[in-house]
Every structure is written in structure tokens, then in C-alpha cells.
């Protein structure tokens, strides 16, 4: 069976798969304990060293399963992994431009660089030989890395959309969460329980703003990012939401990790 036997792998995520590839199972379990990390997103941590080696097969399987759970209609969200390091502040991560070859796939016959974008977002490429060889996902850096699942909003070129589309985007994430089994690997179960009850728009300079019906709104700020909490009934579906300024990315976040401003909308 080709490509990558991913249907079989997805089934194995019910608890048999491990996020780490290691001869010593006890060390692997300790090194790769899943827990809540920056901004409340699921992470796998590894021992602090110049490089950390994770299982390419496992993380590709997680990515595949989450994509398989996406509803059939046009997608309003994109799924990413996101890298951070121990001690890195949220503002630093949002502005982080990873050096080339920060994450690479290493197998017996495979050496591949994983492309990354500003903010340390990335998606794993599907490489058949790497899967067959149970390749390692090698993460460079001098601090302990954190690897998490993040969702971003697809924003039209006009940078303007109906707020109803933001709600529909969140509903698409909820549809994925609803299909994750309670018997899934802890990594997936942590994705399942995330609230994603706000959006964060990050910009390339300090001029950026979230506009709701033309009015600048921010419930919290993080560096050059503006946060809008999702409160039921607060914003009408027919309201317009626009992202003014040089936009980088809009992500769904856990609002509990952000300190509200003294005055909000």
C-alpha cells in the first residue's frame, strides 16, 4: 500500500505510536512527554542539546489524521506545526525567522530540509523513503525545543471578510476536534481539548490593527500582534472584520494566555 501507509499509521495513533524514536524506551518517554506549552498548544519537549531527534513517521501521521478530519467544504483554516524553544517569549516566537535547515528529515537515504515561515510555522512534506526508513525529524537549536499544533485563518487578499467567516473557520476546527477519538494518542487528545477562543493577528510593524466595522479593536496585545477574544453575541455575523497594516498571519489562540487590556470593545 502506497502512499506512506498513512491510513494504517493513523489507526495506530490510538496509542501504539510514539513521538520519539529511541532504543531506550524509558528515556524516550521521559524526553518526549506531551504537555501544555506556549499559548496552551500541544507540545512535545526534548532534552536540551544541539539537536533533538523526533519520529518523522509519528508527526507525519498526526498531520495526516488531522487533515483527514477536515470538513469537505472549502477550507477557511490551515494546519501547521510550530516550533518554539524553552525560554522563548511569545513576542520573540511571533517574530522569529528560523535559519535555513532548522528542521531536517534524516533517513538512511534521505536528507531533506523542512521549509519554515516567519513565526516558526511549518508543514511536513510527505516523503515515501523517509517514511519507509522510519526517518528522524532533526530539530536544531541550543535550547529545548517545543513542537505544537496551530491553526491559522485564511485571510483574503483584500484583508477584509465577514465575521461569520471567522466563526465558520472556528467551526471547521471544531469539526476536526470532534472526530478525534477519546482513545487517541495524548498528542491528539490535547489538540481535541484546546478552546481556540480568540484570534491573534500579527503584523510586520507596529501600525497593524484589527478593525470591526471600521473600528480598531484589541482585547490584548503581544508585541506587533493584536488579539480579539471570541465572546458569544459580541460581534454580529454580518459585521466586517479587516486587518489593517502589513499582515503576517492570523492564528487561533487560547485566550487564557493573554492579559486583557484595561479597555476592550
Domain range annotation of the chain = 6-148, 151-257
> Structure pTM?
0.84
Q: Looking at residues 200-212, what average pLDDT do you find?
A: 98
Q: Are 110 and 130 within 8 A, CB to CB?
A: yes
Q: What is the pLDDT of residues 217-255, one digit of tens each?
A: 999 999 999 999 999 899 999 999 999 999 999 999 999
Q: Looking at residues 150-161, what average pLDDT do you find?
A: 98
What confidence score (pLDDT) does residue 73 get?
87
What confidence score (pLDDT) does residue 225 get?
98
Alpha-helix residue ranges (DSSP H) falling in the chain? 6-12, 25-31, 56-68, 90-95, 128-132, 163-179, 186-193
Higher pLDDT, 72 or 119: 119
49 pLDDT band (50/70/90 cuts)? low
| Letter string b/e over residues 173-184, b meaning 16 or more CB atoms within 10 A of that residue's CB | beebbeebeeeb
Q: What percent of the chain clears pLDDT 70, i.e. is strictly above it?
A: 80
What confidence score (pLDDT) does residue 262 get?
83
Amino acid at each position: 500500500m502506497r502512499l506512506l501507509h498513512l491510513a494504517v499509521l493513523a489507526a495506530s495513533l490510538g496509542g501504539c505510536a510514539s513521538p520519539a524514536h529511541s532504543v531506550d524506551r524509558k528515556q524516550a518517554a521521559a524526553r518526549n512527554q506531551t504537555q501544555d506549552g506556549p499559548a496552551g498548544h500541544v507540545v512535545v519537549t526534548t532534552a536540551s542539546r544541539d539537536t533533538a531527534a523526533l519520529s518523522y513517521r509519528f508527526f507525519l501521521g498526526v498531520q495526516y489524521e488531522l487533515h483527514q478530519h477536515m470538513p469537505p467544504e472549502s477550507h477557511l483554516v490551515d494546519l501547521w506545526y510550530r516550533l518554539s524553544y524553552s525560554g522563548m517569549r511569545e513576542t520573540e516566537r511571533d517574530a522569529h525567522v528560523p535559519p535555513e535547515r532548522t528542521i531536517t528529515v534524516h533517513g538512511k537515504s534521505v536528507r531533506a530540509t523542512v521549509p519554515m515561515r516567519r513565526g516558526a510555522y511549518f508543514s511536513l512534506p510527505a516523503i515515501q523513503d523517509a517514511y519507509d526508513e522510519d526517518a528522524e525529524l532533526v530539530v536544531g537549536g541550543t535550547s529545548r525545543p517545543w513542537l505544537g499544533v496551530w491553526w491559522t485563518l485564511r485571510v483574503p487578499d483584500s484583508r477584509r471578510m465577514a465575521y461569520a467567516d471567522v466563526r465558520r473557520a472556528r467551526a471547521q476546527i471544531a469539526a476536526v476536534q470532534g472526530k478525534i477519538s477519546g482513545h487517541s494518542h495524548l498528542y491528539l487528545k490535547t489538540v481535541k481539548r484546546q478552546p481556540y477562543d480568540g484570534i491573534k493577528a500579527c503584523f510586520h510593524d507596529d501600525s497593524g490593527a484589527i478593525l470591526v466595522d471600521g473600528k480598531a479593536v484589541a482585547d490584548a496585545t503581544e508585541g506587533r500582534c493584536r488579539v480579539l477574544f471570541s465572546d458569544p453575541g459580541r460581534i454580529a455575523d454580518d459585521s466586517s472584520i479587516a486587518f489593517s497594516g502589513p499582515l503576517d498571519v492570523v492564528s487561533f489562540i487560547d485566550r487564557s494566555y493573554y492579559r486583557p487590556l484595561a479597555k476592550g470593545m
